[in-house]
Amino acid sequence: MKKRVLCILLLCLLALTGCEPRSEWRLDLTGGYAVDFVNRSRIILIHLDDPAMPLTDSYLTAVRYNDRYIVYSAIPVPGDPENPDLSGLQLFLLDTRTGVTYDPFTDEQDLIDTLAVLDALDMCDWIVLNDFEKRPSGAYTPET
């Protein structure tokens, strides 16, 4: 009996480790990266080669990108996603060719200065991710 229960538990654990969270929608960015809107409390950055392994644990609020770089704003996971506390907002810069994420920026001007040095100021407009009334343009429901 104990062996049977142990086998069932092991099978359950194996099944769970291979499962990625089901997303309501996904927005492809550049370089094989995407935003996954899992639910109102979980908006994450992933790489499409391994969508089960999120690149961020924080809550993404907006994103912009070009053919090489992704800039995203994020806060710690909010207690109330309808009214998130933006006081901890940080900006991140990801180089999709190298996979390097620059230290978080708390000052937008520092980010702009870094983008200028990288010759990466030409990006799309900010895409708001936590507008629960509508999906961003280009977002789709991923296949299971």
Contacts of 141 (CB under 8 A, 6+ apart): 23, 24, 25, 26
Tokens encoding 137: 């343009």
Band of residue 93 on the pLDDT scale cut at 50, 70, 90: very high
Tokens encoding 131: 């507008």
- Smallest CA-to-CA distance from 139 within 13, 52, 23, 60 is with 23
* Other residues' Cβ atoms within 10 Å of the Cβ of residue 65: 19
Q: Which domain holds residue 50?
A: 23-128
More confident residue, 111 or 106: 111
Do 61 and 52 form a contact (C-beta atoms < 8 A)? Answer: no
Say what the pTM is.
Answer: 0.81
Q: What is the total count of domains within the chain?
A: 1
Task: Establish if 5 belongs to a structural domain.
Answer: no
Read off the amino acid at residue 47.
H
Q: Report residue 87: phi and psi, to 5°.
A: -65, -25
- The mean pLDDT value for 40-50 works out to 93
- The mean pLDDT value for 27-50 works out to 94
Band of residue 62 on the pLDDT scale cut at 50, 70, 90: very high
* Other residues' Cβ atoms within 10 Å of the Cβ of residue 82: 9
Question: Which of 10-19, 63-72, 83-92 has the highest average model confidence (pLDDT)?
Answer: 63-72
Task: Establish if 9 belongs to a structural domain.
Answer: no
CA distance 37 to 139: 10
Task: Establish if 63 belongs to a structural domain.
Answer: yes
